[in-house]
Amino acid sequence: LSLLDASCVAPPPDLDAAFVRSFAIVAAGRARRVEVVPSLLALLDSKDRVLRVDAAESVALLTNIDVDGKWDDDAAAEAHAKGRLAYEDLWRKFGKSPRDMWLAEGFRRAGFRVRALDRTSVWELVRATAGGGHVGMNARDALARIADEPPVPRSMSTTDACGYYAWFFNARRRKFR
């Protein structure tokens, strides 16, 4: 987490501090731990567009919830503030709840009937893989965990991922009802 704070970054002379921070922000999002969300929320007001967008994408990936903060628009300070407040409200509501609760809420907000990330929601999660973005990536990860299989490559298209998981779970339909 200390790399998310600019005052702690002391990269080697041949590396740019902003690049190191950006890398740390992306890594925080991929770590799948909601504990970093408050540190990432603090970056949503950043004047540095790259850091702001990376932080917003990491928060969306971690929480499975995207608020429209117009993060890539430097002139949208009001939208940034509204987006940050929306995420802060969600943090107050869910806080350090298990990440699965955040993910299930994100799937519901995206229009999928996911009660829990378990076999009872497999078919909705298969549908969610076609959604792309953080919703599709989180659905792929959840399905891989439920199947006890490695996840499909991130480079696989949403159509192919959806088709693969539909085939996989249909072939094992009795187990995943």
What are 134-176's pLDDT values in tens digits? Answer: 999 999 999 999 999 998 998 999 999 999 999 999 998 877 6
What are 81-98's pLDDT values in tens digits? Answer: 899 999 999 999 998 789
Indicate whether 1 pLDDT > 70: no
Q: Which of 123, 130, 117, 98 is nearest to 32 (CA)?
A: 98
What sign has the CA pseudo-torsion 39, 40, 41, 43? positive
Q: End-to-end alpha-carbon separation of the chain, Å? A: 40
Q: Can you give the pTM of this predicted structure? A: 0.83
| Cβ 108 vs Cβ 130: under 8 Å | no
